[in-house]
Amino acid sequence: MSTSTQNSPQPSEELQGAAASAQEKGFADSMKAVDAFSADGDVLCRTHIGGQALIEGVMMRGRYNWAVGIREPGGGIYTEEHDLASGRDKNSWLRWPVVRGCTAFVESLMLGFKALNVATEHAYDWEETEEEREQRLKKESRKKKVPVEELRAAEDAERTAKQEARAQERRGIVEAARAAGEDAEEAGRAFDMACKKEDAPDEELDVMMTVSMVIGLIVGVAIFVIAPAALSNLVFGEAAMNTVGWNIFDGILRVLIFVAYIWLISRMKDIKRMFAYHGAEHKTIHCFEHGLALNAANAQLFPTLHVRCGTAFLIMVMLIAIFVYTVLGAPINALVDLTGVTEGPLRFVLVVLTRILLMPVIAGVSYEITVQWAGKRPNNPLVRVILWPGMQMQRLTTNPPDDSMVECAIAAMELVLAREELEAAKKQDTAASAA
């Protein structure tokens, strides 16, 4: 459902210029734009809603569900939503402080995989070209020892029969909806969408995305965990020999590698476009937070930087990791000593494993700082200082989006907001019934 209202406040021309110019400037100017809107009388809507850029789209995540808005090859926007396990009342413990950060960290990895799968399925035209079909039929002909013409005729007959059956089923669904006083056109569109989903190469995509995710995780651990630790060993020797120096050097290396990695991939054409969708996500969230009607014109007034961005979160994770690993360095070394392994490759593996096991806790603490604390106090001077590195990184991970990208972010946001309103209404009804 749309969140646009007739009474939504509109910013002055002066403030529109301030917000628009902030797109080309740094952290301080972007925050001035936010300050300006707040001072203009807009009610700042505190929200926990976040998102993620996808291939040709955006995923938005609320407390109870997540939704995607994907730009299809034909120009339309495909939307889809799913429930969140952490949003169920029976799992309310998952929203405890620190625990909610661990939950968000793990859930984000899983949702990112699922959302990318949906985006890949709908952002590209998977329909087989005539040339691809001919190549496939020739291959099948050699394998089955059947003439190509015979295979083609059988396929055409099967396709025609399937199309006729679907057309008849669609007519029945539309007529039934019309007879029931429902939206017949919407029923037809829903049927078409279901057919498209049925025809999509789900199994192949699932395998491809699963393999990609596994490879990505392995490469990520190798680059951001194993490589810095190995280089630290070369410089300082075993971690136990110089705990403080080893951990600080390891942490700084990790941050530098991360920045270099982001800079390199940001040069790629497809990644540049995805980063523009990242900017669209931030602009849309800004727009909602400042009480404006959700449309592309309003969203484009805001900067692409946001204090609750996942980039800022990752930087905070890395910085807090330096502190945690340094403070807990001696206990970790003592714990590893209990295994009886005092040196060599096996000890290195054990040290790396302990660091990986501590990541959920570090993520939980980082979440409390960047999302729960800083996200609610964007204009606090201390917040500005603490989040400055992460905000600067967003200058690499976000690009100015066009209106079509913002529309995808808005489509996903509206589904999440609709669910938030529905759950709020349910709670009010329950409270009223209990009174």
Where do the domains of the chain lie?
A: 13-126+205-422, 130-199
The pLDDT value recorded for residue 13 is 54
CA trace torsion 357, 363, 364, 367 (10° rounding): 180
The H-assigned helical ranges of 145-201 are 148-179, 184-199
Q: What are phi and psi of 66, to 5 degrees?
A: -130, 150
The pLDDT value recorded for residue 39 is 33
The pLDDT value recorded for residue 6 is 33
d(CA 300, CA 311): 21
Please give the single-letter amino acid code of residue 38. S
Which residues contact residue 173 at a Cβ distance below 8 angstroms, ignoring those fewer than 6 apart? 187, 188, 191
- Token output for 102: 């661990």
Q: Of 243, 233, 241, give the one whose Cα is nearest residue 327.
A: 243
Coil, strand or helix: which one is 81? strand
The pLDDT value recorded for residue 77 is 93
pLDDT, tens digit only, all 435 positions of the chain: 333 333 344 454 544 554 555 444 444 444 444 443 333 334 355 677 889 999 999 999 998 899 999 999 889 999 999 988 765 655 666 667 777 777 777 777 788 888 988 898 888 876 767 787 888 888 888 888 888 888 888 888 988 888 888 888 888 998 888 888 888 888 888 887 777 666 665 556 667 767 877 888 888 889 988 999 999 988 888 877 788 888 899 999 999 999 999 999 999 999 999 999 999 999 999 999 888 999 999 999 999 998 888 888 888 888 888 888 888 877 887 888 788 777 778 888 888 888 888 888 888 888 887 777 766 776 778 878 888 888 889 999 999 999 999 999 999 999 999 999 998 888 888 888 876
Please give the single-letter amino acid code of residue 331. P
Q: How many other CB atoms are there within 10 angstroms of residue 261's CB atom? A: 13
| pTM of the predicted model over 0.85 | no
Residue recorded with tokens 């995780």:
217
Q: What are phi and psi of 54, to 5 degrees?
A: -125, 180
The pLDDT value recorded for residue 93 is 67
Please give the single-letter amino acid code of residue 245. G
Q: Of 358, 348, 362, 333, give the one whose Cα is nearest residue 232.
A: 348
The pLDDT value recorded for residue 43 is 39
- Token output for 411: 């489509």
The pLDDT value recorded for residue 192 is 79
Contact 423, 292 (CB under 8 A): no
Contact 187, 173 (CB under 8 A): yes
Helix (H) or strand (E) holding 232: helix 227-236
The pLDDT value recorded for residue 283 is 95
